[in-house]
Amino acid sequence: MKLTVLGSGCAVPHPERASSGFWLEAAGGKLLLDCSAAAVHRMAQEKLDWPELDAIWLSHFHLDHCGGLPAFLFGTRHTPQTQTRKKPLRIFGGKGLKNLLKAFDEAGNYKLFQQPFPVEIVEIEPQEKWEILPGLTAAAISTPHKEESMAIRLTDAGGVSMVYTADTGFDMILGDFARGADLLLMECSFYQNKPVKYHLELTEAMYLTRYAEPKRVMLTHFYPEWDGIDLLEECKRFSPGCEVIEAKDGLVVEF
């Protein structure tokens, strides 16, 4: 699988870090993990094949994770690149996804779901397992962040796996959920003294990494508090037990 970082930042506007979005290419297709407003244009900037996107996972309904979706659908409805597309676009997220998208649509009578191709909206329950792309199994668990927020674990036919925590507070269950993953994509919003309990700071992210023993961990969702701090140098203090990668917009990793 190949992961491209579209946005390694949070909701706060930042000159180098767009808000959340990750493009995953697997044998069975292309999956977008979260869709911030910035992610829509970042896909084009990275020359990714966005007209052929197969599925979208929305980890939760904070706008730095889902705010780009209505704009993306508004674009695909009208752009020449999607007029001959026939395969469906499938959108997955937690309880309330259908109502959220309906509200977006009705706010401006946009007809977001009258597309040249079918759009399927699927609400996922925590603990559910399903096939998110052909040959790519997904499992989700609830996270302490928002009522509908979930972490997702993706496993391909060969057993290669990645876990995306998305936004979350500290919970040891995440460590169990991420155990042994080939890539653990974990939020690390704050360096220290986090101002809210429903995000992670470095000590917690490193603790979960040591516990989960992934092959690699990529930290993301950085608040501007991180500016000027050498993240990788800081991580060394914790002996994380695996390679640590700092997410940067445009970074590509294969696993």
| Shorter beta-carbon distance to Zn ion: residue 62 or 90 | 62
- Is position 148 an interface residue for Zn ion (rule: CB under 5 A)? no
Quick one: CA torsion of 73, 156, 22, 253, rounded to 10 degrees? -150
Shortest Cβ 233–Zn ion spacing (Å): 25
Q: For residue 58, what are its two tokens?
A: 């929305």
- Is position 64 an interface residue for Zn ion (rule: CB under 5 A)? yes
Beta-strand relationship, 136-142 and 129-133: antiparallel
CB burial of 57-76 (b: ≥16 within 10 Å; e: otherwise) equals bbbbbbebbbbbbbbbbbbb
- List the interface residues with Zn ion, window 94-123 (CB under 5 A): none
- List the interface residues with Zn ion, window 205-244 (CB under 5 A): none
The region of 55-63, 115-123, 126-134, 171-179 touching Zn ion under the rule CB under 5 A is: 55-63
The region of 58-66, 134-142, 228-236, 238-246 touching Zn ion under the rule CB under 5 A is: 58-66
| Shorter beta-carbon distance to Zn ion: residue 62 or 153 | 62
Among 30, 62, 77, 216, binds Zn ion (CB under 5 A): 62
E strands, the chain, are 2-7, 21-26, 29-35, 55-57, 89-93, 119-123, 129-133, 136-142, 150-156, 161-166, 183-187, 216-220, 243-246, 252-254
Among 148, 167, 171, 201, binds Zn ion (CB under 5 A): 167
Q: For residue 212, what are its two tokens?
A: 């989960």
The region of 64-72, 105-113, 118-126, 134-142 touching Zn ion under the rule CB under 5 A is: 64-72
Binding site residues, Zn ion, CB under 5 A: 62, 64, 167
